[in-house]
Each structure stands twice: as structure tokens, then as C-alpha cells.
Copies of this chain bind each other. A is one copy, B any other.
Amino acid sequence: MRNLIDIVDFSVAELKELMDVACDIDMRPENYRERCKGKKLATLFFEPSTRTRLSFEAAMLELGGSVIGFSDASSCSASKGESVADTAKVISCYADIIAMRHPKEGAPYVAAKNASIPVINAGDGGHCHPTQTLADLLTIYRQKGKIEGITVGFCGDLKYGRTVHSLISALSRYNNINIVLISPDELKIPDYIKEDVIDKNAMTYTETKSLEDAMPSLDVLYMTRIQRERFDDANEYERLKGSYILTPEKLQNAKAELSILHPLPRVNEISVAVDQDERACYFKQVLNGKLMRMALILKLLSETDIEEKREADVVKNKIRCSNPRCIVSVEQELEHIFKPVDKANGIYRCVYCESQSIEKENN
């Protein structure tokens, strides 16, 4: 059984295959209309996300399949205390594939370990949202004709934006990617992303506070929203927010072939006036997201007999995960499992939420 929990579960070759299938679906949809006939997708959304849910549902319906599910936790058995593991086992009796959104980090991983059908992570708290990254990658691929050798600017909240972190992770596996990180000091990218992803993969990057300064160099601009709640000082937020709102004026010195991406929903971080600009690709991203989800569903349903690579070298119940947003903090009778990142220095990561733990003593 193959699953998609984290974007790195797929190789670059597999991503290429998915993108090619997505393009073929877009050109020849009639070839795919019966491909999932008789198959059922379960959309298990423990927190609401209409756009993502409807994208999955449209994807399955366009493949000729059908959909069951729920759209928020209040109308699901979790409110009666059912574990994610049990839910996954139960839903395996009803459907052929699961798309799960959950507020706890690692919940889709737990589901994948217990389900007898493939599981797709449709967003687990602040952790991962790999199908958004699939949409981002396809948009870059279709706009640029390639993913290698481009300069990608990330603007806004680079500290908490999981779509930013996931896309950087994904891009780190392609050659000659140059990253420009555009944010206020308060929302700079976390050090572990710089160290574990950017530096480790020898990507080049620059950091700046100015969107205008960065603009001329960019092939792709990935916008995100800055939320008031992220600032201790409301005045600081008010002073800054205008700098990170994309307007037609700020685009004046941009490349003619720039591609503007945004994971949506946007509130006001991109002016509506920019929508008319040919460089605005965020609604194309929506379409691309649906196409990649179709390709993904096809791939996972065709590989149910492939054994997923096992976590070979893990440590069970010796280290405890202290991340309060991790699924182990709520799911009963769940083993605490860590995988070594750097055994010499005793650095481990939780297999569910990827939080790091440093074991000073012998474990």
C-alpha cells in the first residue's frame, strides 16, 4: 500500500510521472471518466477546508468514482471519542481511498498505519499539506516548462506557513533552485528549514524585508498571508502589513514572465486588481490542484499491492513526544516512535509530527 503523508514520500521521478498524468488528464479528460468507476473516496475532514475537500471530491467524480465523508469533526464519531486508528479501520470497510484533514500533526500517518486502503494527507495541523505542494509544483512546471534553474520568491509569513515549508522541501530536490525569502523579522523562516532543507541540499538563498527589492529577480512569486495574531505588537502589524500586499504598482519592475502563486484563500494580501494581470496564476493553481489530485488518486489506487518502505531503524516508547499538537498527545494507546536523524548527537524526530528530540543521555 502506498500513501501520501509527506511530499518527500514521492521521488522526483514519481512527481514527474504525476505531473505528466495531470497534463494528460487536462488534455484528454474523456480517457479518464470511467477510471474509478465503482470506487469510493472517503473525505475525512476533522476540521473544515472547503476548497481542499471540494477539490478532492471533484477529482474523484471526474474519474467516475463517488464520495462519502464528513466536513467537520462535530458531525463525526471522533466527538464520541473514537481514535483515528479505529476510524481508519472502520472507513476501510466503506471506501477505497481516504483523504484526511486533521488538526493534529501526524493523524494521517496514524490513519495510514491502520487503514487497509491508501491514505492521502489533506493537511495535518501546521505540519504538512502535500497535495497543495503538488498543485504548486504543477503550476510552476506548466508555467515555466521545467522546475530546475529558477528563482522562487516566498513572501509573507514564512515562519508558520506550512505550504511554504513544504514547497521549499519539494524544490530542494531539483537542481539550481534559487530561493528569495521575503518577510518581516517576526515571520522569518525557521532555522531548521534553513539548516535541514536549504543548506543540506545546497540551495542558494537570500533574505530580504523588501518585496520591491526582490521583485526583479523572481521567476515565481509565492504569496502568503500575514495574520494579525502573529504579532505581539498590533502597531507593528499595522505598520508592516502594506509592505507585503501585492498590488499592480509593486509588479511594475517584475519580469514579464513572472508567475504569481498563492495557496488560497486570500484575504487581502493580493489586491483584486492583480487578478487581471496575466502573471496571476493562483486560479490556475486551483485547477492544477484538482488535476494533481486526480493523478494521485489513480496512482495510489494502482499501487495498493506495493509494500511501503518500512521505518527500519526506529525507537519505540523510549523517547516521548512533547509537541502538544502531535497526535500522540490525544490518541490513546499510541506508541511513541522516533527515528534517528543524527545518532551520534542523539537527535531524533517523532515519526508522527517530525518534532525533534535531543537525547542527552544514552537512550
Where the two chains meet, the residues of A that have a C-beta atom closer than 8 Å to any C-beta of B are 33, 38, 40, 42, 45, 48-51, 54-55, 57-58, 61-62, 66-72, 74-77, 79-82, 85-86, 89-91, 93-95, 264-268, 271-273, 283, 286-287, 290, 332-333
Contact = CB atoms under 8 A, between A and B. Distances in A.
6 contacts: A51-B77, A71-B75, A72-B74, A77-B264, A81-B267, A86-B266
Nearest to A270: B86
Nearest to A48: B75
Contacts of A33: 38
A286 B48 CA distance: 26
Given A91-B54, A93-B290, A80 B265 contact: yes
A156 to B, nearest CB: 15
B54 A94 contact: yes
Given A42-B54, A74-B72, A271 B333 contact: yes
A100 to B, nearest CB: 13
Given A93-B283, A267-B82, A50 B70 contact: yes
Nearest to A332: B268
A38 B31 CA distance: 13
A294 to B, nearest CB: 12
A344 B332 CA distance: 55
A265 B40 contact: no
Given A50-B77, A58-B40, A90 B272 contact: no
Given A94-B58, A266-B86, A332 B79 contact: no
Contacts of A266: 82, 86
A278 B287 CA distance: 46
B71 A49 contact: no
Contacts of A264: 77, 82, 86, 90
Contacts of A50: 70, 75-77
Contacts of A54: 42, 68-70, 91, 94
* Closest 8 pairs between A and B when the two form their complex, measured CB to CB: A82-B265, A58-B94, A48-B75, A81-B267, A50-B76, A272-B333, A71-B75, A93-B287
Contacts of A89: 283, 286
Contact of A55 (B81, B94, B272, B290): B94
A286 B61 contact: no
Nearest to A58: B94
Contacts of A49: 77
A296 to B, nearest CB: 16
Contacts of A91: 54
Contact of A79 (B48, B67, B70, B75): B48
B66 A61 contact: yes
A115 to B, nearest CB: 11
Contact of A286 (B58, B62, B93, B332): B93
B74 A48 contact: yes
A59 to B, nearest CB: 9
A265 B81 contact: yes
Nearest to A76: B50
A77 B265 contact: yes
Contacts of A95: 58
A90 B283 contact: yes
Nearest to A331: B272
Which of A71, A91, A93, A268 has the most B CB atoms < 10 Å from its CB?
Answer: A93
Given A70-B50, A72-B74, A333-B271, A61 B82 contact: no
Contacts of A82: 51, 264-267
